[in-house]
Amino acid sequence: MTNLIPFILLLYFILYFGIAFVAKSLIVAKRIGKNPLVLPKDNSAYGLVGRYFKMMLIALFLYILVFAFIPSIYTYFLPFPELETMYFKFAGITLLVISFILTVIAQSHMKNSWRIGIDEETKTELITSGLFSYSRNPIFLGMIISLLGLFLTTPNVLTLIFLIIGYTLIQIQIVFEEDFLTSLHGQNYIDYKQKVRRYF
């Protein structure tokens, strides 16, 4: 199984980004008549968070791609030998599967309100049902779980950096989105925040 992990990861992340982001973006864009990717391109704090996150995702995908075709390069990423067991690898792959399922289901519950970034031009519906009745950010939770799953599957310094940076940027993005949703939905969102946890 160890020899298959590089290709399992490559296939997983192609499906993850292809279905959860590319396909979902196309579906929502067709429904609402606009691009759901609304990350700013300026040098504001919010714009920089989006830019850094895109850079991290590109670096992550390059890592997966190189690892799939040149597995021997793995040793250069400073692996943690104590975590290089089948138990952790199986746990990592399990988390990746959970992440994929969680993300896709949460996106379906968001319907046309799903965006990549903050849409200041359209008043989207506040989604509080489905997975959102248990977690205010199930999609972000799914993304964090996927980064943790990647680290456990290939435990090394680079994947640990991806996990730390990804978690930090997601936390900052959530703060921006919570401030925006509070201004957009007022007391309804404040009440929702008091009832439902940020993650779970």
pLDDT in tens, 69-110: 999 999 999 999 999 999 999 999 999 999 999 999 999 999
- Parent domain of 161: 1-24+90-111+127-200
Q: What is the pLDDT of residue 124?
A: 87
Looking at the predicted structure, is the pLDDT value of residue 162 above 70?
A: yes
Q: How many angstroms separate the CA atoms of 200 and 198, rounded?
A: 6
Residue 83 covered by a domain: no
Mean pLDDT of the chain: 94
Structurally, how many domains does the chain consist of? 1
Residue 61 covered by a domain: no
Q: What is the pLDDT of residue 55?
A: 95
Looking at the predicted structure, is the pLDDT value of residue 123 above 90?
A: no
pLDDT range class, residue 45, cuts 50, 70, 90: confident
Residue 64 covered by a domain: no
Decide: 162 and 55 in contact? Cβ < 8 Å: no
Q: What is the pLDDT of residue 121?
A: 86
Distances (CA, A) of 173 to 13, 39, 102, 118, 132: 22, 11, 19, 9, 17
Q: What is the pLDDT of residue 22?
A: 92
Q: How many angstroms separate the CA atoms of 69 and 126, rounded?
A: 43
- Which residues are registered as beta bridge partners of 129? none
Higher pLDDT, 163 or 38: 163
pLDDT range class, residue 39, cuts 50, 70, 90: confident
Nearest to 21 by CA among 92, 89, 112, 115: 115
Find the mean pLDDT for residues 25-46: 90
Decide: 158 and 146 in contact? Cβ < 8 Å: no
- Tokens representing residue 7 in the block: 């290709």
Residue 103 covered by a domain: yes
Higher pLDDT, 42 or 181: 181
**Weakest mean pLDDT among 30-39, 53-62, 182-191:** 30-39
pLDDT tens by residue, 55-74? 999 999 999 999 999 999 99
Greatest Cα pair distance in the chain: 55
Q: What is the pLDDT of residue 1?
A: 56
Residue 179 covered by a domain: yes
Q: How many angstroms separate the CA atoms of 58 and 34, rounded?
A: 24
Residue 186 covered by a domain: yes
Residue 119 covered by a domain: no
Q: What is the pLDDT of residue 177?
A: 95
Residue 66 covered by a domain: no
Q: What is the pLDDT of residue 184?
A: 93
Nearest to 71 by CA among 163, 158, 12, 7: 7
Distances (CA, A) of 122 to 16, 115, 129, 143, 193: 27, 11, 20, 25, 22
